[in-house]
Amino acid sequence: MSQATEALLIGELARRAGVAASALRYYEAEGLIAGGRSSGGHRVYPRHVLRRVAFVRAAQAVGLSLPEIKAALATLPEGRTPTKADWARLSAQWAPLLEARIESLTRLRDRLTGCIGCGCLSLKACALFNPQDEAGQSGPGARRL
């Protein structure tokens, strides 16, 4: 195979992965993907980077931060492309984190229902901004807004 069929220019990778070229440059700067340069100085990436970008996008879709995704990718031997088995293992590790986020959002939704339209903005009484008057323990004055 020629180098042209083994590597993708940044624009082609961006188009095929469905992300902006600037996102790819950012992912590379953050250590999520790795590429190189062509003899003409253009950014090029091995084809397997498509799978890594898909992994990053899927992990972002479930609410993971880029540092969390980077930590997950760092568990792969020699920085290889994630496999289906890798995704299963990593997603199982993320399940408790996702459950905690779901519970937090559910509590927020349930509290929000009581606040819609009240307009109280009371940090003493508002269960949304000041549960159990935690801000009152810090003394007078604005603490959260």
pLDDT of residue 2: 41
- 72 and 88 Cβ atoms separated by less than 8 Å: no
Higher model confidence: residue 130 or residue 47?
A: 47
Q: Has residue 17 got a pLDDT over 50?
A: yes
CA dihedral 115, 121, 123, 129 (to 10 degrees): 50
What digits encode the pLDDT tens for the residues 71-124? 988 888 877 888 889 888 988 988 898 899 899 888 878 776 655 555 555 555
- Mean pLDDT, the chain, as a whole number? 81
CA dihedral over 96, 104, 56, 71, signed as positive or negative: negative
Task: Give the whole-angstrom CA distance, residue 55 versus residue 89.
Answer: 13
The predicted pLDDT at position 134 comes to 58
pLDDT at 4 over 50: no
Domains of the chain and any CATH numbers: 3-137 (1.10.1660.10)
CA atoms within 13 A of residue 6's CA, in its CB half-sphere: 6
